[in-house]
Structure 1
Amino acid sequence: MIDLDRAWDLHPQVALRDEPFGALVYHFGTRKLSFLKDRRLLAVVRGLAGAPTARQACASCAVPPAELPRFGAALGALARSAMLVERAPAAGAGDGAP
């Protein structure tokens, strides 16, 4: 499971391709292929880039709090396979700067 309170992005060498069942996730660097079979998970993965945290990406896709562990585990599997990478905090985030 990933830390849902951190920011995550697709790895720069990863592409998503919509499919009727969800999406294909392909890493051009490692040549790994994954399948997303849940359209809400696909929406969360797409929303990671615009969200300050993975938890917020889940919330913006209407993932209920009771399902966060399942989504965190799925995102964790993507992170372990290098499909997702942790995004560095924005400059000034968390240091008390306005």
Structure 2
Amino acid sequence: MDIDLGWQLNPKVALRPEPFGALLYHFGTRKLSFLKNTTIVAIVQSLPDHPNARSAILAAGVAEPALAKYADALGVLASSTMIVPTLVEEDAA
């Protein structure tokens, strides 16, 4: 996954916070995923507020040496379509 692109939670996915992290349920595939790290939960929730995944990771307080670990975690979520790239609307002008 390209962390320099914008990402968002798939509209077909519900995120339910839990004491251990969160549950993700994909209504299209019926897949259930567990996020067992509150930092990754915060990153996923904040993806729409950032121009790209890299800035969402760094804004969550992740140090540069740990960035790859969180990028890999987001990659797993992207491969299961729990998160999807944000659509960039083209200017009509």
The bucket for the TM-score relative to the shorter chain is over 0.9
Number of residue pairs aligned between Structure 1 and Structure 2: 91
Is 1:21 the counterpart of 2:20 in the alignment? yes
Partner-residue secondary structure (3-state), 1:31: coil
> 2:48 aligns to what?
49
Code of the residue aligned with 2:74 in structure 1: it is: L
Taking the aligned partners of 2:76 and 2:85, their CA distance within structure 1 comes to 13
Given residue 4 of structure 1, which amino acid in structure 2 is its aligned partner?
I
User: Does 2:14 match 1:10?
Assistant: no
How far did residue 89 of structure 1 move?
3.2
Mean Cα deviation higher: 81-90 or 20-29:
81-90
What amino acid does structure 1 have at the position aligned with 2:68? P
Root mean square deviation, CA, Å = 1.1
Runs of 4+ in 1 over 6 A off after TM superposition: none
Structure-2 separation of matches of 1:87 and 1:34: 21
With normalisation by structure 2, the TM-score equals: 0.92
When the two structures are superposed, what TM-score results if normalisation uses the length of structure 1? 0.88
Ranges in structure 2 where 5+ consecutive residues have no aligned partner: none
**Identity among equivalent pairs (%):** 48
Deviation at 1:87, TM superposition (A): 1.0
TM superposition shift of 1:9: 0.4
User: Residue 17 of structure 1: CA displacement?
Assistant: 0.5
Measure the CA separation in 1 of the matches of 2:51 and 2:88. 9
Whole-angstrom distance in 2 between the partners of 1:63 and 1:90? 30
